[in-house]
């Protein structure tokens, strides 16, 4: 008896030919390069995000933090974390980035070459437009619609915004006011 072999995903080439702008996440939480590591962890927890774009005060992208990187640092005693800033966690090499008009294929190739599971996406003027994660590409290949939020609803990360962030879905711990 012949086994059924899975064939190529229908529309795979169409998905890879799309621009990054069509597939990326636009509703991302950002954090300032001078903010504390503890605030970064709080933002990751409350937003449920896996990636946290880091920006300079003027809005230029400084890099991309991964939840795992922040978690490892946050395992240190809290007293040693009070002086540690987000900028201190950024890798020495620059984060991978693409522009909104580039293709998903280009972004996937870049992610593969740099072994990154997400890339920063920049607008024409060099400002952050969103994040494209491997999970977003997989969702597009699976035919799931991309959830978009208007750009003006993007969460920003000055510490004064923390109380307004929603709790992560499925969170069963104590809410932080």
Query: Fold for domain 12-155?
Result: CBS-domain (3.10.580)
pLDDT at 27 over 90: no
Is the pLDDT assigned to residue 50 strictly greater than 60?
yes
Quick one: pLDDT at residue 101?
94
Q: Which of 157, 161, 130 is nearest to 56 (CA)?
A: 157
CA dihedral 143, 147, 150, 154 (to 10 degrees): -130
Q: Who wins on pLDDT, 49 or 151?
A: 49
Cβ neighbours of residue 64 closer than 8 Å, sequence gap 6 or more? 51, 52, 53, 54, 95, 118, 119, 120, 131
In this prediction, residue 147 carries a pLDDT of: 56
CA torsion through residues 139, 149, 67, 129, sign = positive
Distance between terminal CA atoms of the chain?
Answer: 61
Among 9-13, 35-39, 165-169, top mean pLDDT goes to 35-39
CB-based contact 82:73 (threshold 8 Å): no
From the list 160, 139, 148, the residue with the least C-alpha distance to 28 is 148
Closest of 68, 61, 49, 32 to residue 120, by C-alpha: 61
Average confidence (pLDDT) over 57-73: 89
pLDDT at 66 over 80: yes
Please state the rounded mean pLDDT for residues 29-39: 91
State the pLDDT at residue 134: 93
Report domain extents, the chain: 12-155
Query: Band of the pLDDT at 98, cuts 50, 70, 90?
Result: very high
Place of tokens 């702008």: 21
Beta carbons of 43 and 51 less than 8 angstroms apart: no
Q: What is the pLDDT of residues 1-25, one digit of tens each?
A: 444 444 444 578 888 999 999 999 8
């Amino acid at each position: 008896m012949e086994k059924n072999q899975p064939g190529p995903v229908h529309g795979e080439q169409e998905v890879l030919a799309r621009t990054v702008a069509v597939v990326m996440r636009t509703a991302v939480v950002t954090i300032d390069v001078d903010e504390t590591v503890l605030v970064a962890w709080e933002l990751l927890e409350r937003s449920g995000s896996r990636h946290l774009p880091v920006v300079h005060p003027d809005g230029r992208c400084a890099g991309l933090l991964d939840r795992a990187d922040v978690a490892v640092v946050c395992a240190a005693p809290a007293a040693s974390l009070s002086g540690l800033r987000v900028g201190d966690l950024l890798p020495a090499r620059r984060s991978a980035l693409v522009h909104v008009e580039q293709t998903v294929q280009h972004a996937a190739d870049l992610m593969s070459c740099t072994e990154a599971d997400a890339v920063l996406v920049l607008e024409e003027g060099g400002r952050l437009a969103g994040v494209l994660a491997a999970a977003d590409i997989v969702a597009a290949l699976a035919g799931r619609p991309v959830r978009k939020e208007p750009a003006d609803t993007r969460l920003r990360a000055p510490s004064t915004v923390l109380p307004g962030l929603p709790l992560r879905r499925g969170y069963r711990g104590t809410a932080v006011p």
